[in-house]
A and B are shown apart, each in its own frame.
Chain A
């Protein structure tokens, strides 16, 4: 089954410059593994060594942030659209403190 994946500028080096690629998988984790088989290195930019989604990216399924959908366990269906964006964050806060924050980050609901 085909799922459309929108790739941000910073990761297009892994997709030969393509802005949109297609992949398949029942969950986001499966999809990223599938994409990595054709776009080697892409998964490592999105998933940490500990096997969780990287803090520096936002991933959406259709119009929802996957942090609200179970992250890598988020279920996917044929025809879904996945969008990857670089998270825009920073500030004067020290890095160690920011990393600690990332450890117990809860999504900010609107």
Chain B
């Protein structure tokens, strides 16, 4: 499962909408070993394409070094599909080179619907996982769960002390 803060999801979706109809891409870094995405880094799509994305190699070197210096790792690698569903294409699978990362896909095909899905991609095998969006800014105990690309299945208020 991917647990991620609502404010980061909002920033990723805003980035994807802004670059639409081109694909948008980026990283969310987090402390190494924590599996917690904390620092959103929008990246240039060097391909500037509606159907392909590619990190600029020099920007990637800079960002990967910075993560190394801060003892972080790429917890989430995201990109958008702008006319198709948020599911990894064969190209995505061929390139997936960070076995520890959550591959987050956002589809911007519907202007009013947020379509977010997350996958592990290891040795060419794709496994979808639930996304748990934590609305820390509003209420740290309020959780929306997105299951497999559906709209929010539950808003799960974990009540404490009662």
Contacts and interface: CB of A to CB of B under 8 A. Distances in A.
27 contacts: A10-B97, A56-B94, A57-B97, A58-B57, A58-B60, A58-B61, A65-B58, A86-B95, A86-B98, A89-B52, A89-B53, A89-B95, A90-B79, A90-B93, A90-B95, A90-B96, A91-B81, A92-B91, A93-B89, A93-B91, A94-B90, A95-B89, A95-B91, A108-B47, A108-B54, A108-B56, A110-B58
A102 to B, nearest CB: 10
- The size class of the interface chain B forms with chain A is 35 or more
Contacts of A110: 56, 58-59
SS of A interface (majority)? mixed
Interface of B: 23, 25, 43, 46-47, 49-61, 64, 73, 77, 79, 81-84, 88-100
B92 A91 contact: yes
Given A58-B60, A92-B84, A108-B56, A87 B90 contact: no
- The size class of the interface chain A forms with chain B is 20 to 34
